[in-house]
Structure 1
Amino acid sequence: MDFSKLGSWLAAIKKKPKTSLAMAIVVAIISAVAIYNPELIPDLGSDDNPAPVPLQGWAGEDEAEQAWNAIGDTFPKFAITPAHSSKGSVVNLWDAAKLVNDGKHLETFDQKIGDCVSQGAANAINYLQCVEIALHNEREEFRSAFQPYIYGTSRVQIGGGRLGRSDGSLGVWAADAVRKYGVLAADAPNVPPYSGDIAKEWGHKGPPSQFIEIAKEHIVGATARVHSYEEIRDAITNGYPVTIASNQGFQMRAKVIDGRLWGIPSGSWAHQMCFVAVDDTVDCPRSAGGGHGAAYCLNSWGEDAHAPVSEYASTDDAPPGGFWVAAPIAGKMAQRGEAFAFSAFNGFPAQSVDFSIFGEAFNDDLRRN
């Protein structure tokens, strides 16, 4: 704002009593809202709310629709069996991750090119692994998924190189790739460290053949498209993470309201992320989209992209690098974009995910061994 002209501006208002009265009323209303409902005051931008990082990479609605029309009928229909209501559920899949990972959150990805689709899919696979290990007391060791492998198989083996050398992929391609070409562990022999150069190379040429043979031994059991917040809630309540690709953008800095970090809808991101928690009991702030119920969206722009790491620990201990998305916004993202639930089974069987119960057995088994 140009404060040099403030004095003359105020003097002009004083000469117009009606304008002065109107301004006084407006100021009084804004002051009252700021005191009693501060979350309704929009963030008009500051040094603490920078522009979004330009690392996205979803190929968009038109490409997604074409791809779905071509291969969508090869996917199973999403359905929890036997059917039961998930209304009112509160499930944090990071509870399983912390059980498996010595009480710590999984590493937050920090993508280096427009390979967000593979980042979101890798997050879904990693949380799915943790759920399976924690719930079924499996002795299998957690091994993080290697994102460039998913990036390459989605673009080349499934997408046929349609996008050329440009960055990007589609949620449907990634969801198809992991059930056909499997998952490569980042710590498998001879796998290079993640980098933008490796992602670009594998995204253009496809992964080296020797890694495809290894990864095919670790296919994802099922992936299925979900179309609403209610289906996102159903999936996560039963332990199935959900990737979400859409054009929905958010303010770069999440906003702390009532003890959790909320994503404030703003602008457009052609981007894939991953839902890893649901709270169907929460009333969402109006500035976040309002409504009832929310899902936690994990991003891949580093752990401090949306808030200082300390703010996550001091609020609800959600994984750094994400934010809560109000149900109406999450539903819109699923309807207009691509959302896929990931399962280790041939389908989506109902399962209890009370990690406080399973965690005791899991820890007892660890102590015995």
Structure 2
Amino acid sequence: MTRRTTPPAKRHGWFGPDEAKRAFATLGPALPPFFIAGTPQRSERRRVVLWDYTRQANGGNHLPTHQQEIGDCVSMGAANAVDYLAAMEIVRLGDPERLRPAFPPYLYGISRVQVGGGRLENSDGSLGIWAADGVRRYGVLAADTPGVPEYSGAIATTWGKRPGPPEPLIAAASSHLVGTTAQVTTYAAVRDALANGYPITVASTQGFLMRPRVDRGKHWGVPRGRWAHQMCLIGVDDSPERPGCYCLNSWGPDAHGRPADDAPPGGFWIDASIVDAMVAQGDSFAFSQFDGFPRQDLDFHLI
């Protein structure tokens, strides 16, 4: 049986903390500060996992795990953030919308070209802040939009170079904006965001062993080495015994083994202290207030 795992040479694609810092100096002032909209939910000592919402909105099934084919991890992390946010708003907030997964190559293109200006287009990769700014300004393209091809590394490569995604598809995405993408720099802020239903894109140089270790009924990532990489935080368990967050990767469902709990495949839990160090690198963002896709029927089943 073929393993569904991204080859090592294609696994990364974050331009790193120095480029992120330069981009934040320009784009950061336009981004809102982190805050909890409405009545905040208590976050201390709570367990909140956003796949509870995706499964309710998707016929009881997890969403498919992305498997990147080039260094387009930033777009995968951003797409996961949009999808899990959309499901939370549909299920918990009652938004009359359909759960239509985001198309990562669109996010790759607008982050690199429309926001990043194509300055680094001779190599794979992007920045979390470019994607965070992009979904606010250029919106989100649903993967099932007419005229959108199947995902491939070739499509991501093409759309990641000037002029970027096709203009008609940018127009189609323009009414589906993410209202707020706010920088988070501490585990406490990540915990607060997740407890209130907001997923987090997390870009850093922190690496892990490919095989997590089981403890307390969860697969825990073992910190090791360097990954110039963006992923997505979609769950928090602030247990006093071992607090941490679930990190969904984009290297395929088999990349890190079968989860020990009910988490979606292709990820692992990360200790709170490691989360704190990752987001301190300055290129991680909470997504909230998505202008999603109006519901035309009651069939949310995607796969």
Task: Tell me, in whole angstroms, the C-alpha distance in 2 between the residues paired with 1:258 and 1:51.
Answer: 28
Q: Give runs of aligned pairs for residues 99-248 of structure 1, distance below 5 A.
A: 99-205=56-162, 206-248=164-206
Q: Give runs of aligned pairs for residues 212-361 of structure 1, distance below 5 A.
A: 212-284=170-242, 293-307=243-257, 311-312=258-259, 315-344=260-289
Task: Tell me, in whole angstroms, the C-alpha distance in 1 between the residues paired with 2:121 and 2:8.
Answer: 23
Q: Unaligned regions of 5+ residues in structure 1, if any?
A: 1-49, 285-292, 347-364
Cα separation, partners in 2 of 1:180 and 1:65, compared to 1, 3 Å: same
Q: Which letter does structure 1 place at the counterpart of 2:156?
A: A
Task: Tell me, in whole angstroms, the C-alpha distance in 2 between the residues paired with 1:110 and 1:83.
Answer: 34
More helix by share: 1
Q: Unaligned regions of 5+ residues in structure 2, if any?
A: 292-297
- The offset of 1:258, in angstroms, is 2.1
Taking only the aligned residue pairs, the percentage that are identical comes to 54
Equivalent position SS for 2:161: helix
- 8 Å Cα contact 1:248/1:265 also seen in 2: yes
Task: Tell me, in whole angstroms, the C-alpha distance in 1 between the residues paired with 2:104 and 2:211.
Answer: 25
Equivalent position SS for 1:210: helix
Q: TM-score, normalised by structure 2?
A: 0.91
Residue 28 (structure 2) aligned to one of 58, 65, 72: 72
Higher mean Cα deviation, 84-93 or 67-76?
84-93
Figure out how many residues of one structure are paired with residues of the other and give that number.
286
Q: Which letter does structure 1 place at the counterpart of 2:160?
A: G
Q: Give 1:53's aligned residue.
A: 8
Deviations 1:82-123 (A, max 9, x none): 566421111000000000011110110000000000000000
Cα separation, partners in 2 of 1:51 and 1:183, compared to 1, 3 Å: closer
Task: Tell me, in whole angstroms, the C-alpha distance in 2 between the residues paired with 1:170 and 1:140.
Answer: 29
Q: Give 1:23's aligned residue.
A: none
- 8 Å Cα contact 1:51/1:252 also seen in 2: no
> Pairwise CA RMSD of aligned residues?
1.8
Q: Give 2:295's aligned residue.
A: none
Task: Tell me, in whole angstroms, the C-alpha distance in 1 between the residues paired with 2:193 and 2:94.
Answer: 21
- 8 Å Cα contact 2:185/2:276 also seen in 1: yes
Q: Which letter does structure 1 place at the counterpart of 2:251?
A: W
- 8 Å Cα contact 1:220/1:344 also seen in 2: yes
Q: Which letter does structure 1 place at the counterpart of 2:216?
A: D
Task: Tell me, in whole angstroms, the C-alpha distance in 1 between the residues paired with 2:8 and 2:240.
Answer: 29
- The offset of 1:71, in angstroms, is 1.1
Residue 94 (structure 1) aligned to one of 24, 43, 51: 51
Cα separation, partners in 2 of 1:191 and 1:84, compared to 1, 3 Å: closer
Q: TM-score, normalised by structure 1?
A: 0.75
- The offset of 1:337, in angstroms, is 4.1
Deviations 1:138-194 (A, max 9, x none): 442210100000000000000001112210000000000000000000000010110
